[in-house]
Amino acid sequence: MPVYHSKQNDKDVKTACKASVLPLKSGSVKGPAGEFSPQSEKDVDIIDEALNYFRANILFSQFEVEGGADLTLVYLTAWIADCLRKLQKEKTKETALKASYQIGISKKFKVPGDAKFEFGAFFTKPKNNSEKQLFVDYFVQIRHETIKRLIEKCYTADGKQNKHWFQFSKRRFMNAWNM
């Protein structure tokens, strides 16, 4: 069974460190991503794509990148796994929402070019400070938006943890940990 690749690899968008800066559904998180406008009902943005493919892609230890959107998908898959690990101790949706702000908004994370960046073989080092800043701004935006949408999926309607999501909290995606 092959990994799921992004359906947005063919889009012509800005890039930062080879990762595509893709548009997102309108949300409360501001950043450099444009607004996503679906062509049909089946079209989803990169965050929904990562959430939909997560439970299948997390099982793979290798990922053949086909484009910049795949790099964003790889990063988000590892980020979702990390978020599940961090949310494991939050037993209710209410406490998870409080904790999610602190988890998602942090601007202190490793970027391409840093010594311990998990996916250094995939991403390129930023050419200048503006590319690095675009990468940081975009990934802060998608990290925060991803954790908000993840909480809606991984907690049931009555506010309890969904075991079908939290069973993946101990899995590593391509040996990446602590994004």
Per-residue pLDDT, 179: 57
| Geometric angle at alpha carbon 33, from 30 and 37, rounded to 5° | 110
Per-residue pLDDT, 145: 92
Per-residue pLDDT, 60: 86
Average pLDDT, consecutive stretches of 10 residues, N- to C-terminus, the chain (179 residues) = 87 94 85 87 92 92 91 93 92 92 78 88 94 94 92 94 90 69
Q: Which residue's entry shows tokens 């080879």? A: 18
| pTM flag (> 0.85) | yes
Per-residue pLDDT, 159: 93
Helix, strand, or coil (residue 122) = coil
CA 57, CA 149: separation in Å to the nearest integer? 18
What is the tens place of the pLDDT at every residue in 103-132?
876 777 889 989 888 888 899 999 999 999
Number of Cα atoms under 13 Å in the Cβ half of residue 16: 20
Integer-rounded Cα radius of gyration of the chain:
15
Per-residue pLDDT, 177: 62
